[in-house]
Structure 1
Amino acid sequence: MDFDLYERELWTGRASAYERGFAHVTRYMVEPLLDAAGVTDGTRFLDVGTGPGVVSLEAVRRGARVSAVDAEPGMAETARRNVPGLDVRVAVLPGLPFEDGTFDAVAGNFVINHVGEPDVALGSLRRVLRPGARLALTCWVMPGRGALAIVREAIEAAGVPWPDDIPATPFMEYGEQVEFRRLVVEAGFTEVAVEEVTWEHVVDPEEWWETGALSRVGTNGVIVGRQDAPTVARIKTEYDRIISGYAVRGGKVALPAHALLASGVR
């Protein structure tokens, strides 16, 4: 299956489930992302892949003039609800409904790893920036570790194979500092910097099972959702075993998250 087509099917109707779960993990990077993009009072800013609007909301709080796009209509509607008055449009990268040089800053929080042609998408982001404007992007370190990997590890430990019809992300080769930096440099940006950021996501393990396995958010959720009840139970047994290694006080687990933050100048 074409990766972009798969992504559209993957996220259709998942806005509410994403907002309840994974959005709490990605929220950690919002302020570092906006700092890297230089978003302050009066900045004309584009939030790419806004999801539930978390980045847009913080940019508005900083006094920026914010526009946002998302490929999933449900995500756009959720962002519109969470950020009253937000100029949010449905658009699928690399297509952006803006004139050349419109923005002072563009940022995407864990978006670039969800497009089939990252280099083409970066060219589109560069197009809508004015000369001297800033870009900032986050992505997960590849292959996923910690928080992102636990359900996948449980699936593998339960002996469930990767489905033939689910494509691997084209971003796999870019999910480390050197290759991510090269990708942004080759797209024509200057002063490019990439840093790895780590944090802990403290969560109830049953809540994380719901988020990562039963809600059908992301590929792991799709794979679990295809299984019969005995297989799901087998995956859950492996999940409980793996996640117990991250236990902290209060019945919670502290799951490490590993991301890359890239920035550059148009």
Structure 2
Amino acid sequence: MTTTAFDDHERLQWADRAAAYQDSLASLCAQPAAALLDAAGVMAGTRLLDVGTGTGTVAALACSRAAHVTAIDAEPSMLTLARRHAPDADVRHATLPDLPFTEDSFDAAVANFVINHVGDPAATLVELQRVVRPGGRIAVTIWPYPPPPAQRLWGQIFDAAGVERPLDLPRLAPDKDFSRTRDGLSELLHRAGLDDVRCDTITWIHRTDPEAWWNGPVNGIGATGALMRRQDPGTMERIRHQYEQHSTAYRDPDGRLALPTAALLASASVA
């Protein structure tokens, strides 16, 4: 199995956090699911591989289209929820970039907010190519940079609370990294040898309960959660105070948050 320090950090970061993710940020990541499947050409009878399935949102939607779905994830707690949410899918444990499938096993592959969590994104795309037949499609989503308001909000909160950013968190090696822009993501797919690359920006308003938006990072979800877990009680109190202050501007009359956000959706054909 091919892993890096970044991969090891990500596995530890997500260990046993499926329930916390489901109750906080899963609905945010679910928004592009239909567009992702459309970009991959998923319809009735499509043999689809959903990598990094998480709680199974994309897999379940693909099953509702009568696709033949295989879904994988590296985190056992995610697989438990994925099997519950997508009972018609073949849900398996596997870790990117090494897939336990033969060449040309699938008509399409999708990765919803996944390649930003692997130590070698290009190698992951090459492996997806290997298991998708020629002429099949691959579609991926990532969060863009600069971050949209929903994600930028946390940086503003941490700055106001005086939170120092750690310098010791694993990062992608420079030769493995890519720009989180439309051009950067498109270039990554081209570099992996894919054809007919298309990349668009999807925008939407994420509506959520303020406590759900708070609980994701508090329970260690994502890069924000990794930073939150390092703080002492006094700093956490400051962060909570700044959260209340900064989130007020995004509250609907009913008290829920209405957070503008965006994602990059790229797709390509296998040569």
TM range (shorter): over 0.9
Out of 160-169 and 216-225, give the one that drifted further: 160-169
Please say if residues 143 and 172 of structure 1, whose CA atoms lie closer than 8 Å, have aligned partners that are also in contact. no
Provide the secondary structure at the position in 2 that maps to 1:84. coil
Match of 2:51 in 1: 48
Q: How does 1:180-199 map to 2 (within 5 A)?
A: 180-199=185-204
In structure 2, runs of 5+ residues without a counterpart are none
Please say if residues 114 and 169 of structure 1, whose CA atoms lie closer than 8 Å, have aligned partners that are also in contact. no
Provide the secondary structure at the position in 2 that maps to 1:183. helix
Please say if residues 26 and 110 of structure 1, whose CA atoms lie closer than 8 Å, have aligned partners that are also in contact. yes
C-alpha change, 1:159 and 1:172, in structure 2 (3 Å) is: farther
Match of 1:230 in 2: 234
Out of 245-254 and 33-42, give the one that drifted further: 245-254
Quote the RMSD (CA, aligned, Å). Answer: 1.6
Q: Does 1:90 align with 2:59?
A: no
Amino acid at match of 2:239: I
Match of 1:66 in 2: 69
Q: How does 1:15-164 map to 2 (within 5 A)?
A: 15-164=18-167
Please say if residues 18 and 217 of structure 1, whose CA atoms lie closer than 8 Å, have aligned partners that are also in contact. yes
Q: How does 1:157-172 map to 2 (within 5 A)?
A: 157-168=160-171
Out of 217-226 and 193-202, give the one that drifted further: 217-226
Shift of 1:72: 0.8
Match of 1:221 in 2: 225
Out of 14-23 and 199-208, give the one that drifted further: 199-208
Shift of 1:154: 1.2
Q: 2:259 aligns with which of 255, 258, 262?
A: 255
Shift of 1:203: 1.6
Is the helix fraction higher in 1 or 2? 1
Distance 1:141 1:234 in 2: 28
Q: TM-score, normalised by structure 2?
A: 0.93
Q: TM-score, normalised by structure 1?
A: 0.95
The number of residues matched between the two structures is 265
1:215-265, CA deviations, whole angstroms, 9 ceiling, x for partnerless residues?
A: 111121122122221110101112222211212221122101110000000
Provide the secondary structure at the position in 2 that maps to 1:166. coil
Shift of 1:160: 1.3
Distance 1:134 1:227 in 2: 43
Distance 2:160 2:19 in 1: 29
1:171-213, CA deviations, whole angstroms, 9 ceiling, x for partnerless residues?
A: 87331000110110111111110000110111222321112x3
Out of 143-152 and 255-264, give the one that drifted further: 143-152
Please say if residues 135 and 265 of structure 1, whose CA atoms lie closer than 8 Å, have aligned partners that are also in contact. yes
In structure 1, runs of 5+ residues without a counterpart are none
Shift of 1:143: 3.7
